[in-house]
């Protein structure tokens, strides 16, 4: 760690907002481009870097450099981006398993045609009850097979917005399907 890095660390730990702003101005754009290499979404990369700097400032008193400041910043943003991707993968697997679990409970045979029609009705009613963007995102993902990144690009929104809306939609669907299963039982 260089003497300059140590001085910057000390000033930021002491609450020097100007030093923090200089650090932010110097590294924000390069860190966004670095995060983009992992995330392939500039809005998401910016969110990750902004969140990193927010936490960096919030936890400045406990922050301690063991490497160079440059290495610390890039390694932290890399770790945050990879953590986000891992979390996204887990959420997608969970969402898929919930929908598959509910669809497995409703086995189709020709005698169940009325039940299937009722299920379709519940699905359509649930889709119509969702906010428009939320419904569209759910349909694009579940019925058209589009990935979150594709949806975000098509709708010109961030992946985090897609995730949030999918989370809302899945919550509403879980409740609707649970109610449907209880009525069918």
pLDDT of residue 108: 47
Q: Which of 35-49, 85-99, 170-184 has the lowest mean pLDDT?
A: 85-99
Rg of the chain over CA atoms, in angstroms?
Answer: 23
Whether 9 maps to a domain, the answer reads yes
Distance CA 136, CA 132 (A): 6
Counting Cα atoms < 13 Å in the Cβ hemisphere of 133 gives: 14
pLDDT of residue 21: 94
CATH number of the structural domain spanning residue 61: 1.10.1740.10
CB 31, CB 51: distance < 8 Å? no
Q: Which of 6-15, 39-48, 82-91, 97-106 has the lowest mean pLDDT?
A: 97-106
Question: Cβ–Cβ contacts within 10 Å for residue 172, how many?
Answer: 18
Considering the domain architecture, whether residues 170 and 116 belong to the same structural domain is answered as yes
Considering the domain architecture, whether residues 7 and 71 belong to the same structural domain is answered as yes
Distance CA 108, CA 61 (A): 60
CATH number of the structural domain spanning residue 115: 1.10.10.10
Distance CA 164, CA 95 (A): 12
Q: pLDDT tier at 81 (50, 70, 90 boundaries)?
A: confident
Range of the domain at 110: 106-184
Whether 91 maps to a domain, the answer reads no
Considering the domain architecture, whether residues 125 and 170 belong to the same structural domain is answered as yes
Whether 14 maps to a domain, the answer reads yes
Considering the domain architecture, whether residues 123 and 51 belong to the same structural domain is answered as no
State pLDDT tens for residues 143-167: 888 898 888 888 889 889 999 898 8
State pLDDT tens for residues 89-140: 665 665 666 666 555 454 544 455 556 677 778 788 888 888 888 888 888 8
Considering the domain architecture, whether residues 151 and 110 belong to the same structural domain is answered as yes
Considering the domain architecture, whether residues 112 and 148 belong to the same structural domain is answered as yes
């Amino acid at each position: 760690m260089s003497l300059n890095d140590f001085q910057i660390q000390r000033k930021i730990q002491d609450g020097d907002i100007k030093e923090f702003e200089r650090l932010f101005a110097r590294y924000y754009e390069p860190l966004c481009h670095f995060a983009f290499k992992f995330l392939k979404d500039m809005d998401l990369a910016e969110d990750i870097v902004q969140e990193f700097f927010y936490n960096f400032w919030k936890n400045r008193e406990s922050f301690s450099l063991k490497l160079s400041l440059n290495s610390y910043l890039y390694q932290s943003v890399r770790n945050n981006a990879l953590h986000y991707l891992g979390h996204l993968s887990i959420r997608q697997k969970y969402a898929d398993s919930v929908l598959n679990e509910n669809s497995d409970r409703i086995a189709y045979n020709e005698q169940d045609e009325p039940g299937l029609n009722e299920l379709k009705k519940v699905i359509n009613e649930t889709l119509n009850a969702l906010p428009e963007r939320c419904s569209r995102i759910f349909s694009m993902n579940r019925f058209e097979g589009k990935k979150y990144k594709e949806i975000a690009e098509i709708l010109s929104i961030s992946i985090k917005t897609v995730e949030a809306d999918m989370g809302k939609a899945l919550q509403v669907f879980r409740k609707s399907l649970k109610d449907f299963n209880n009525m069918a039982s």
